[in-house]
């Protein structure tokens, strides 16, 4: 499990990869891959890569937590 280096959503790059998702959520890379294949998770497949647009990730977290980020 990798530690997150970002301190706020503003610091995130426009597109997040699986390593970034794992670090942000505090889960393993294999857990992040599993999550990225779940229905309703905003992952995009570009070639063989899975990425998540930052704004979609923030929205997904907000919906999961029932909060208003």
Residue 68's pLDDT is: 63
d(CA 26, CA 64): 15
Domains of the chain: residue spans and CATH: 12-64 (3.90.105)
d(CA 11, CA 69): 15
DSSP letter, residue 57: H
% of the chain beyond a pLDDT of 70? 91
Residue 69's pLDDT is: 54
Note the pLDDT tens digit of each residue in 16-47.
999 999 999 999 999 999 999 999 999 999 99
Question: Residue 2: left if φ>0, alpha if ψ -120 to 50, beta else—which one?
Answer: beta
pTM exceeding 0.85: no
Q: Going by DSSP bridges, is the β-strand pair 44-46/15-16 parallel, antiparallel, or unpaired? A: unpaired
């Amino acid at each position: 499990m990798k530690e997150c280096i970002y301190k706020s959503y503003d610091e995130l790059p426009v597109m997040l990869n699986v390593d970034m998702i794992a670090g942000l959520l505090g889960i393993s890379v294999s857990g992040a891959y599993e999550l990225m294949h779940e229905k309703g998770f905003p992952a995009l497949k570009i070639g063989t890569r899975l990425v998540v647009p930052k704004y979609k990730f923030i929205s997904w977290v907000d919906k999961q937590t029932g909060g208003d980020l």
